[in-house]
Structure 1
Amino acid sequence: MDSATPDPLALDVRRIAAISLDLDDTLWPIWPTIERAERALHAWLSREAPKTAALLLTPGMLSELREATAKERSDLAHDLSALRRESIRTALRRGGEDPALADPAFEIFFAERQRVTLYDDVLPALKWLSERYPLVAISNGNADVHLTGVGRWFRAAFNARAFGSGKPHAPIFRAAAASVGLLPKDVLHVGDDAALDVVGALDAGMQAAWLVRDERPWEHGARPQLIVPNLHALCVALDTA
């Protein structure tokens, strides 16, 4: 997949007056970031709550706590920060230590979570795109565009926690378009998640580009107007269409 792949629906570049972008796994790989943040959290717990730190070394314990918290606190499904904080609180309780430590522990995790390593194509592409279109970030995660160092390229940023709901539901896409004075039909959304980004954006009335940095088949009904392997290919497609 070395170049942009147009769908028979065909990307209508003339309609595009703004671009919305997903963050995690679109601008940077998320799992190396999360793993580094979890290591920083564990190092802090080893000093401040050693019994909890020892508990979390049990294979599968961290994922078990996350899953249990997500099930118990389904009201927080759109708020990954709150879910993470509550899973830390549960771990502290199980370890017999002060659950109030969950708040400073989460701050350690959150600060490290913002230290992302951008894909090589991202900064040149954001510069090129932002010179031609207003850019809006739309994320279900808890990255902050300003703390991650990409905020200067974006006119606005939406995340599920602050907005109250996330992708694939239409309201967050509509709000992103409205933030730059547009209707969804005037916006191209770009993201890596086929269901959350592409199908969600299409259902909201946007055009969609699927950014897929690995080889994965398309497994949904409605198709994106464009498939690209990276943001450089997106820029090429927009420049030559």
Structure 2
Amino acid sequence: MINGILFDLDGTLLDHRTAADTAIGAWVAERAPGHPRLGDAPALWAALEEPHLAAWHAGECSWQEQRRRRVRALCAELAIEVPADLDAAFAGFAEHYRRGWVAFPDAARTLAALGGFRLGVLTNGAQEIQEEKVRAIGLDGLAGPVLTGEVLGGCYKPAAACYTAAAAALGLPPEEILLVGDDIAKDVTGPAVTGMRSVWLDRLGVSPPPDGFPRITTLADLPPLVHAP
């Protein structure tokens, strides 16, 4: 029986990709107007997110340092001058990024339709920023507590300890929780080792889910799924 539901944040409740792509395009255009590879910047920036965030998760660098590394790497790839103040440079990107924060249209309606379940947000981002996102997109009070590695003992998805700690934070065993997210490894197959169930949110509907895992293409499909007898 499902008594609790955990949601990923970026790509699930918040349209992270659109915000980040628009922001990095604006950031590059400010520093290199007319750059011939401006159109490549969003894909390059997206490719840099995971490895450098993973280095932070592993304790190999600080949160701020992983940001600096991403700026350096993007500048190197585009052959533009590396800013002298990398922290200020990333802050410029972050300002654009914040302006693009918006919830997916199905997010608030879905959360509101899940009364009776214990809800929470399980995300690999930084605690303060992820809480800020939830407030900014109007889901504070609807989505439940925001749970990151910073409040879960330093463990991040897809580590099994992350899911068990998140379940404990909701006051439920993993077997009574459903995780909903857009990343197959972190949100779908990862939780299975703990007995936690999951649903893959595939907004593009481009490929089948891993064997044995349900797929939805909109959060609006979730309430009928969890309320089904």
Under a length normalisation based on structure 1, what TM-score does the superposition of the two structures give?
Answer: 0.71
Q: Secondary structure at the match of 1:233?
A: helix
Kindly indicate whether the alpha-carbon contact (under 8 Å) linking 1:70 and 1:83 is maintained by their aligned counterparts in 2.
no
Residue of structure 2 equivalent to 1:54: 32
1:113 aligns with 2:97: yes
Q: Deviations over 1:68-108 (max 9, x none)?
A: 8977896336688753332225649972642x2x2222223
Q: 1:96 to 1:197 in 2, by over 3 A?
A: closer
The higher radius of gyration belongs to: 1
In the other structure, the counterpart of 2:215 is: 227
* Cα separation, 2, equivalents of 1:17 and 1:134: 6
- CA contact under 8 A between 1:80 and 1:161: conserved in structure 2? no
What residue is the counterpart of 1:37 in the other structure? Answer: 23
Q: Closer, same or farther in 2 for the Cα pair 1:70/1:211, shift >3 Å?
A: closer
Pairing partner for 2:134 from 123, 142, 145: 145
TM-score (norm. length: structure 2)? 0.74
Change (3 A) 1:82 1:155: farther
Per-residue Cα deviation, 1:95-125 (whole angstroms, up to 9, x for no partner)? 2642x2x222222322433432322221111
| Percent of residue pairs identical | 25
* CA shift for structure 1 position 146: 2.4
Q: Which amino acid in structure 2 is aligned with residue 57 of structure 1?
A: H
The 1:179/1:77 distance shift into structure 2, 3 A limit, reads closer
Distance in 2 between residues matched to 1:27 and 1:84, nearest whole Å:
23
Q: Which residue of 2 aligns with 1:194?
A: 184
Looking at structure 2, the residues matched to 160 and 69 of structure 1 have their Cα atoms a distance apart, in angstroms, of: 17
Separation (CA, whole Å) in 2 of partners of 1:134 and 1:74: 29
Could you say if the C-alpha distance between residues 177 and 193 of structure 1 is closer, same or farther in structure 2, counting changes exceeding 3 Å?
same
Q: 2: distance between equivalents of 1:237 and 1:69?
A: 32
Does structure 1 conserve the Cα–Cα contact (< 8 Å) formed by 2:21 and 2:42? Answer: no
Cα distance change, pair 69–174 in 1 and its aligned pair in 2 (3 A): closer
What is the SS of the residue equivalent to 1:209? strand
Indicate the structure whose relative CO is greater, using CA pairs within 8 Å and at least 6 residues apart.
Answer: 1
Residue aligning to 1:134: 118
CA distance in 2, matches of 1:238, 1:69: 32
**RMSD of aligned Cα (Å):** 3.5
SS, match of residue 145 in structure 1 = helix
Structure 2 vs 1, CA of residues 19 and 111 (structure 1 numbering), >3 Å: closer, same or farther?
farther
Which of 88, 102, 110 is the aligned partner of 2:71? 88
**Offset, 1:149:** 2.9
1:23 is displaced (CA, Å) by 1.6
Match of 1:184 in 2: 174
Answer yes or no: is 1:75 the counterpart of 2:55. yes
1:207 to 197, 203, 210: 197
Quickly say closer, same or farther: Cα 1:162–1:182, change in 2 above 3 A. Answer: closer
Figure out how many residues of one structure are paired with residues of the other and give that number.
Answer: 213
* CA spacing shift, 1:161–1:67, aligned 2, 3 Å: farther
Alignment gaps of 5+ in structure 1: 1-14, 47-52
